[in-house]
Amino acid sequence: MKHCLTIAGSDSSGGAGIQADLKAFSAHGTFGMSVITAVTAQNTQGVFDVQDISPSVIAHQIEAIFDDIHVDAVKIGMVSRPETIEIIAKTLQKYTLPPLVIDPVMISKSGYDLLQPEAKKALIEILLPMATIITPNLPEAEVIVGYTIETLDDMKKAAVDLHQLGCKYVLVKGGHLVNDATDVLYDGQAFYFLEEQRLETVNTHGTGCTLSSAIAANLAKGLHVRQAVTEAKAYITEAIQHGFSIGHGVGPVHHFYNLYTKAGIIE
C-alpha 186/C-alpha 136 separation (Å) is 12
- Is pLDDT of 58 > 70? yes
Does the residue 82 lie in any domain? yes
Does the residue 267 lie in any domain? no
CATH number of the domain residue 125 falls in: 3.40.1190.20
Which residue out of 30, 204, 210, 230 is catalytically annotated? 204
C-alpha 41/C-alpha 210 separation (Å) is 19
> How confident is the model over 146-166, as pLDDT tens digits?
999 999 999 999 999 999 999
* Count of domains observed in the chain: 1
Report CA torsion sign: 210, 212, 216, 221. positive
**What is the CB neighbour count within 10 angstroms for residue 238?**
16
Does the residue 266 lie in any domain? no
Which residue out of 209, 233, 237, 243 is catalytically annotated? 209
Confidence of residue 167 (pLDDT cuts 50, 70, 90): very high
> How confident is the model over 93-122, as pLDDT tens digits?
999 999 999 999 876 665 656 677 788 889
173 counts as catalytic? yes
Which residue out of 9, 208, 243, 251 is catalytically annotated? 208
